[in-house]
């Protein structure tokens, strides 16, 4: 019986392709067949590049046949969130306003993946301009959770998470502004990591909130996270926020265990609002790490209760500035019946942007407006500094911080769309880390009684991805947690 490569990890695919045990074209075709079989149920992709993916795979095979170096991601089929610029296909941000936009350049992370032998399967669905927590805000369609098709996959990187869990790619790239990698990873049952701000170049990432956005991988396990990070991290002179630091070999950071590691458990994350099932699974995960030699200590992040308010002032203010460029003049949607410049602006933006994007632009414009700047935006920046200080003080007592990723498992479509605040609170455990700027990873730690995945979040000091990877890898190896794979009948 031949191996089902769609269930293999990126690491195993890489090893098999480089050794000649399987052709990259064979692996890629397996994933394209899987997409054809289940995509009408999951709806993870905005577009699938069948011909281009096979051409990339054949190029890898040709290099191997000629004895050339094919790179550390040789033949690994991946998906890309649809706000990462690529010369292939379109870059739409799942928005009507960019429905037909084709980028003339590749994002830096895409260049690096291409150079290392990866195969691109296509673009993945998302909340429009990354504004959302459920992928219900996409202008194209609603991606479904592979573990329960009636539930959301999380957001904004919902397509990126669902495609990994449904075995429609070996790994994917998403972006995380307030939890948009970690939250869908938790709800959809895969591993998601937000690197330190500045660790991965944002050049070629369509901006939402420039001081918060960060590209990161969603994978099937922690070792694949290290492999993906090795590929995309590193200084980029084209991005002024890119850190000029050497990048360690993250695959070499996994071993070593957690003996002597101190894990901070913030009391503010284990209060009212945390679901009982999530609490139980996270406490069990902490016990696994204690049994593996780590010790835990209670820490305090006292300004946590202000994080959601601070985040939604800062991110909307930055979104208001970033999205001003979509005016119908240079590129993007232009309303065909506009009679003058004012109508062009008003009609193009009113039709081009969805309700959630319009809501955030208006909130941000208000927060930046004359007479309100000091009361809202400036004050939010001051509280952000206090949140960062909370983390710095907590890390004086511990090496990493462990929390739930989300307060509950995935919810059903429509459950929170009528109440934006309730939707925003779904990111309450992830937002603070973006305000701080450090790295964080979500790993599956079990399933609810209904079979929905639950995520365990490990956060680290700035530029200390190695510590959270080692902790997550130790937990993954010692816990024995294996999620019951979603059964998606081929169409």
Query: At 272, is the pLDDT very low, low, confident or very high (cuts 50, 70, 90)?
Result: confident
147 in Cβ contact with 486 (< 8 Å): yes
For the stretch 196-230, pLDDT in tens is: 999 999 999 999 999 999 999 999 999 999 999 99
Predicted local distance difference test score (pLDDT) of residue 363: 95
For the stretch 312-333, pLDDT in tens is: 999 999 999 999 999 888 888 9
Q: Does residue 180 have an active-site annotation?
A: yes
Q: Is the pLDDT of residue 485 over 80?
A: no
Mean pLDDT lowest among 226-230, 399-403, 419-423: 419-423
Domains present along the chain, CATH in parentheses: 5-301+392-479 (3.90.1300.10), 304-391 (no CATH)
Whether this prediction's pTM lies above 0.85 is answered by yes
Q: Is the pLDDT of residue 1 over 60?
A: no
Q: Does residue 160 have an active-site annotation?
A: no
Which of 95, 156, 160, 432 is labelled catalytic?
156
φ, ψ for residue 125, nearest 5 deg: -65, 160
Predicted local distance difference test score (pLDDT) of residue 286: 98
Q: What integer is the mean pLDDT of 16-35?
A: 98
Which of 81, 123, 194, 461 is labelled catalytic?
81
Q: Does residue 156 have an active-site annotation?
A: yes
Predicted local distance difference test score (pLDDT) of residue 250: 98
For the stretch 78-130, pLDDT in tens is: 999 999 999 999 999 999 999 999 999 999 999 999 999 999 999 999 999 99
Which of 95, 165, 180, 348 is labelled catalytic?
180
For the stretch 173-189, pLDDT in tens is: 999 999 999 999 999 99
For the stretch 249-258, pLDDT in tens is: 999 999 999 9
Q: Is the pLDDT of residue 491 over 70?
A: no
CA distances, 437 to each of 12, 191, 237, 422, 465 (Å): 32, 19, 20, 24, 12
């Amino acid at each position: 019986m031949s191996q089902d490569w769609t269930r293999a990890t990126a690491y195993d695919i890489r090893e098999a392709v480089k050794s000649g045990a399987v052709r990259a074209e064979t692996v890629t075709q397996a994933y394209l067949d899987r997409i054809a079989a289940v995509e009408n149920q999951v709806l993870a992709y905005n577009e699938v590049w069948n011909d281009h993916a096979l051409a990339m795979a054949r190029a890898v095979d040709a290099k191997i046949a000629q004895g050339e170096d094919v790179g550390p991601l040789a033949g690994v089929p991946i998906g890309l969130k649809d706000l990462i610029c690529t010369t292939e296909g379109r870059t739409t941000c799942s928005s009507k306003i960019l429905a037909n936009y084709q980028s003339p350049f590749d994002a830096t992370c895409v260049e690096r993946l291409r150079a290392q032998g990866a195969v691109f399967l296509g673009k993945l669905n998302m909340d429009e301009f990354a504004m959302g927590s459920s992928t219900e805000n996409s202008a194209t369609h609603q991606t479904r959770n592979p573990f329960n098709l009636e539930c959301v996959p999380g957001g904004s990187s919902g397509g990126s998470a669902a495609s990994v869990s449904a075995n429609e790619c070996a790994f994917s790239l998403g972006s995380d502004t307030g939890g948009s990698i970690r939250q869908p990873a938790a709800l959809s049952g895969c591993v998601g990591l937000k690197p330190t701000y500045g660790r991965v170049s944002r050049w070629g990432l369509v901006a939402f909130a420039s001081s918060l956005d960060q590209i990161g991988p969603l994978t099937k396990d922690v070792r694949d996270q290290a492999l993906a990070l090795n590929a995309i991290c590193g200084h980029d002179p084209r991005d002024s926020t890119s850190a000029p630091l050497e990048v360690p070999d993250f695959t070499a950071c996994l071993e070593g265990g957690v003996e002597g590691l101190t894990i901070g458990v913030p009391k503010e994350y284990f209060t009212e609002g945390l679901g009982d099932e999530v609490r139980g699974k996270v406490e069990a995960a902490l016990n696994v790490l204690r049994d593996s030699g780590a010790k835990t200590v209670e820490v305090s992040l006292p300004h946590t209760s202000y994080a959601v308010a601070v985040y939604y002032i800062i991110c909307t203010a930055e979104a208001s500035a970033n999205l001003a460029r979509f005016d119908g003049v240079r590129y993007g949607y232009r309303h065909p019946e506009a009679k003058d410049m004012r109508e062009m602006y008003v009609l193009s933006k009113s039709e081009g942007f969805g309700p959630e994007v319009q809501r955030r632009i208006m909130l941000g414009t208000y927060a930046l407006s004359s007479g309100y700047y000091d009361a809202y935006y400036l004050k939010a920046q001051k509280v952000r500094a206090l949140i960062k200080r909370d983390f710095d003080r907590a890390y004086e007592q511990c090496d990493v911080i462990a929390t739930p990723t989300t307060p509950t498992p995935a919810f059903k479509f429509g459950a929170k769309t009528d109440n934006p605040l309730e939707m925003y609170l779904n990111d309450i455990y992830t937002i603070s880390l973006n305000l701080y700027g450090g790295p964080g990873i979500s790993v599956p730690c079990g399933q609810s009684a209904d079979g929905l995945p639950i995520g365990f979040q490990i956060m680290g000091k700035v530029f200390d991805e190695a510590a959270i990877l080692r902790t997550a890898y130790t937990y993954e190896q010692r816990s024995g947690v294996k999620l019951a794979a979603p059964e998606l009948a081929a169409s």
